[in-house]
Structures are given as C-alpha cells and as structure tokens.
Amino acid sequence: MEKQFPIIQLMDVNGNIEKQEYSSKITKELTEKFYKHVLRIRTFDKKAVSLQRQGRIGTYAPYEGQEASQVGSALALSQDDWLFPSYRDHGATMTFGHSLRNILLFWNGRNEGCVPAEGKKVFPPGIPIATQLPHAVGAAYAEKRKGTKNASIVYFGDGATSEGDFHEGLNFASVLNAPVVFFNQNNHFAISVPMTKQMKTSTIAQKSLAYDIPGYRIDGNDIFAVYFYTQEALKRARNGDGPTLIEAMTWRYGAHTTADDPTKYRNQAESEKRRKDNDPILRLERFMKNNGWFDENHKSALLAEISEEIDAAISEMERFPKANPADMFDYVFEKPTWGIAQQKEELLQVLRGENE
C-alpha cells in the first residue's frame, strides 16, 4: 500500500522544487504569505506553552512541527468554507482568521474562546476524539443542499482513525457525495501509542479505498504540497465530485499536551533530528534562500510585529474574569435536565464553601 500511496512531495528538505509543473504557481508573494503565517503560529505556540508553565492559561496542546500542514491547508480555503478543528489545530484556525484573544480564552476555560471572528465558520475544537468528523460532513451536506460552492475541511490526528466517528464520517460523506476534505495530520503518535500499535495498515490514506473516495499521502512538512493538494481536493468538492482523504505526514516535537511527558514513550533524539533536518519552517527558509527571497532583517521585523500582536492578545485575555467552572453545565442542553441542574448546584455549593 505504501507503493500505491507514495508520499507526495513538491519541495525536498533542501528547499528545491521537485515537480517543475508547480514552479510557475509558486510566487514570491505566495511564499512570503506562507512564511509570515508559519512564523506567526509557531511564535504563538511557544508563547502559549510558556503561559501555561506560568499558570496564566490551563492545559495546552502544542503543535510545533506541524506548521506547514496547518497553514498550507487553511490558506487553501475560501472565506465562506467551514473549518472543523481538533484541539491541536488552533494554528489552522488563527490562519483562517480566528481571534488570537479568543484562542487564548479557550485555553483559559472561557466560553468566548469558541466564538469565531465575524463571518467565519469555525467550529469549536473537538475535544472527544474524532467527533468533529460527522459534524463536518453534516455542514458540507447542508451547503450542497443549499446549492452553494462552499466546502468543509476537518482536521484530525492518526489516533482519530481508530474511532467509529472516523468511519461513520467517511461513509456518510461518500454516500452523500458531500463536499468535505478530511485532513489527517499523521504525527505518528496518538498520545503515547505509536501508529504501529493502533492499526495494521501501513498508511491512513489507503482507508479511502473502503469508501471509494480519493486518498492522498503528502509530505506534511512541505507547505507547497499541502497547499496545492488541499486546493485540488477543495476544487473537487466544489465541483460536486465529493470528499477526499488527505494524510499529511508530519511530526510533533513536543508533548501531546503540557500535562504529558513524551520522554516516557518516545525517543526525543528523533525529534531533535527531525527539527534539524526536516523542520517545515527551515525548509521554507531554504527555498527562499535558494531563490534569493530571504532577508534576515525582514524576518526580524516580522517576528517583532508578531510578538506585538500576541502580547496584545494576551493582555486582552487577561482582562477577562477567571472562568467559572459552573458554566460548563449551561451549554449542554437548551434547558438543563434535572441531573445537570443538580450537578451544577452541588458544584456551586462546593465553590461557595471554598470562598468562605
């Protein structure tokens, strides 16, 4: 199956374009746009980890190493498309226009964190694994029924393919010919479980065969491959040709979340090797240098601008009152059931006792 689903690469690790038919599409303007966004989301990610360590936000899910997958796919979307993230895809959501302040509020336990920017269709992050896949199919099918050209993209990790929601989502999308792109970021581990212990198949892309839809395995650290193949999948969706499954091969450098210790189950030397040899940002920089488009002063100016934007978002986030734990009971049903109402009252009693 690895031969049937080879890893598609447009740019090698040294920043050279391998498929020349794409050269005319890779402009300086597009490259600089990619570069700004990957720097922006990596800077945010590092800052968020630091905030968690300082106790200024709650448990956080880092994505460092997966920037090309998230930026390249999100920039392929049109303004009226739907984006369905998992808890690790805030790099994609901020690239699509989600507020940095609200992303930080989400990680600080406030409901405002789930509110997208005006006019943006960004679903709240899926915390239970793979639950966002059927939702993405439903939204895509609704757009089809309405006669629009809008599509959905849904993000998920390799662990999500072990859930029933994954198979149900792909089956419904296939049967309904829904305009949805299933975007898998295969970072080789579902928390502590390596891919080899989750599935017998050698690729995730091959699972597309069971649902008679196209499947591609791409180099998820090659931002050009991510962007152009996501674009093609979205074009298929808009043209009424149905769903596509994309497996983006990538690697997460850090922990599953800030509550996790990856040294207990993963050789961190592999992470350091990949950081040196196959980092998505370094690859893009190598490409820019090969074409005479890289400027160290411009990079410094970009980082200063990005840091200022993130610091402003942090200040806004910290002006909000602390989250009230009892709020979690308010958005389960339109009218709370007696059991939820009772649980909320019990928690409020505990909180009042702590404050006395």
Active site positions, annotated: 252, 256, 265
Question: Is residue 198 a contact partner of residue 159, using CB atoms and an 8 Å limit?
Answer: yes
Q: Strand 82-84 and strand 121-122: pairing?
A: parallel
| CB-CB neighbours of 83 under 10 Å | 27
Q: Is residue 110 left, alpha or beta, with left meaning phi > 0 and alpha meaning psi from -120 to 50?
A: beta
Q: Give the pair of three-digit tokens for residue 253.
A: 């450098």
Q: How do the residues of the chain divide into helix, strand and coil, expressed in percent and rounded to 5?
A: 55, 10, 35
Q: Evaluate whether 132 touches 85 at the Cβ level (below 8 Å).
A: yes
- Would you state the torsion angle of the CA atoms of residues 4, 86, 75, 282, taken in this order, to the nearest 10 degrees? -70
Yes or no: say if 72 and 119 are a contact pair by the CB < 8 Å rule: no
Structure-token match 């490259």, residue found: 31
8 Å CB contact between 80 and 148 = yes
The tally of CA atoms less than 13 A away on the side-chain side of residue 80 is: 6
Residue 217, phi then psi, degrees to nearest 5 = -115, 115
